[in-house]
């Protein structure tokens, strides 16, 4: 079974942002001859997440609002006591809220491939959640099948 790996580089712009990466994932798939199989999409960061959902602007605002309520940035998190943590770089952010948001979502998604296309539903998109931006992010794609 052929397997292709490729990294997607995404430059994020905001502290919390949601990015539709479906076109980039489909482009990776299109570079292969795989017609039936699957694409694994994996975030390589602890303060980002992936989900399959609708890319509708008002819904994305609702999701962002929900995440902010779930893990408010201003809470007194232990992870943010940087002076108590050993070997911390000088530019280490206080980002416990981003880690907490990330664990409520997922670090990966698996999407079926049928006839050389992602088998997503009508309103489904592959969404990258930036929870501690802006940053340069890397998403790992693995396409396998026949």
Q: pLDDT (tens digit, 9 = 90+) per residue, 10-69?
A: 999 989 999 999 999 999 999 999 999 999 999 999 999 999 999 999 999 999 999 999
Give a yes or no: residue 81 inside a domain: no
With cut-offs at 50, 70 and 90, classify the pLDDT of residue 1.
confident
Structural domain contains residue 137: yes
- Number of helices (H) and strands (E) in the chain: give both, helices first: 3, 8
What domain count does the chain have? 1
Which pLDDT belongs to residue 45? 98
In a domain, 89, yes or no: no
120 burial (CB, 10 Å; 0-12 / 13-18 / 19+) is: middle
Q: What are the start-end ranges of the E strands in 34-135?
A: 36-43, 48-53, 108-114, 117-118, 125-130
In a domain, 90, yes or no: no
DSSP letters for 8-24 = EEEE--SSSEEEE-HHH
What confidence tens digit (pLDDT) does each residue in 56-113 have? 999 999 999 999 999 999 999 999 999 999 999 998 999 999 999 999 999 999 999 9
Q: DSSP labels for 21-41?
A: -HHHHHHHHHTS---EEEEEE
- CATH assignment of the domain containing 127: 2.60.120.460
Q: What range does the domain containing 136 cover?
A: 3-73+96-145
Mean pLDDT, rounded, for 3-16: 95
User: Does residue 105 contact residue 52 with C-beta atoms inside 8 Å?
Assistant: no
pLDDT of residue 14: 87
Do residues 42 and 11 lie in contact, with contact meaning Cβ atoms separated by under 8 Å? Answer: no
Q: Is the pLDDT of residue 136 over 90?
A: yes
Q: What is the mean pLDDT of residues 123-127?
A: 98
In a domain? residue 83: no
How far apart, in Å, do the first and last CA atoms of the chain sit? Answer: 6
**What local confidence, expressed as pLDDT, does residue 79 receive?**
96
How much is the pTM?
A: 0.95
Query: Does 29 reside within a domain?
Result: yes
Would 79 be classed as within a structural domain?
Answer: no
- Residue 60 confidence (pLDDT): 98
Domain-embedded: residue 123: yes
Is 123 a residue whose pLDDT tops 90? yes
């Amino acid at each position: 079974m052929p397997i292709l790996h490729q990294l997607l580089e995404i430059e994020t712009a905001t502290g919390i942002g949601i990015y539709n990466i479906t076109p980039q994932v489909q482009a990776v798939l299109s570079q292969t001859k795989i017609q039936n199989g699957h694409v694994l999409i994996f975030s390589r960061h602890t303060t980002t997440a992936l989900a399959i959902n609708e890319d509708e602007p008002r819904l994305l605002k609702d999701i962002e609002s929900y995440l902010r309520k779930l893990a408010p940035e201003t809470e007194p998190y232990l992870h943010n006591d940087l002076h108590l943590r050993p070997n911390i770089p000088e530019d280490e952010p206080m980002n416990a809220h981003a880690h907490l948001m990330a664990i409520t979502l997922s670090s990966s998604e698996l999407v079926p491939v049928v006839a050389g296309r992602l088998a997503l539903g009508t309103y489904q998109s592959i969404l990258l959640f930036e929870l501690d931006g802006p940053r340069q992010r890397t998403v790992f794609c693995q396409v396998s099948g026949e």
